[in-house]
Amino acid sequence: CFGSKKKRVSLVYVDDLVRGILLSAEHPGGENESFFLTDGKVHSYGEFASAFEEATGRASHPIVVPMPVLFSYAALNELIKIFTGKARTLDIQKYPEFVGEWLCSSDKAQELLGYAPRVRLVEGIKMTLDWYKQRDWL
């Protein structure tokens, strides 16, 4: 977690995302429209950690990284990028993406397209972990 476990984010499972994209492409109400697709809830990072624990049956120990530490790391990566010419995962330009809350609503897609998410967070985490395990990535 960056800054606080209370920071919030909107999430969507890939199957719901694909279903929403297909709905918007096929439904007359989707023409010339843009939609956000979510699982219908706003989750805090703390809630995500709890859902991960439930999905795995294991305790999680999220580490909250204070914002000044994160910024210092981004600044250090910026220097490394200058000297090596290689982009880093986190630098000064990407820092704002790590510190903000990323929230959206799928209400418009629900109203115009009839979009309804089917996969809840814990179930999505379980299926994602299974997918990674099947490919020996975990």
pLDDT digits (tens, 9 = 90+) for 38-66: 999 999 999 999 999 999 999 988 888 88
CA distances (Å), origin 108, targets 29, 38, 78, 79, 96: 10, 11, 39, 43, 27
Considering the domain boundaries, does residue 45 fall inside one? yes
pLDDT value at position 63?
Answer: 85
Domain membership flag for residue 53: yes
Query: Domain range holding 122?
Result: 8-65+101-127
CATH (domain of 22): 3.90.25
> Could you report the per-residue pLDDT of 92-131, keeping only the tens digit for each?
999 988 888 899 999 999 999 999 999 999 999 999 999 9
**Percent of the chain having pLDDT more than 90?**
78
Give the pLDDT confidence score for residue 79 in this predicted structure. Answer: 95
The answer as to whether 118 is a domain residue is yes
Decide if 114 is inside a domain. Answer: yes
Measure the CA angle with vertex 27, ends 13 and 24; round to 5°.
35
Mean pLDDT (the chain) is 93
The pTM assigned to this predicted structure is 0.81
84 within some domain: no
**Domain membership flag for residue 26:** yes
In a domain, 86, yes or no: no
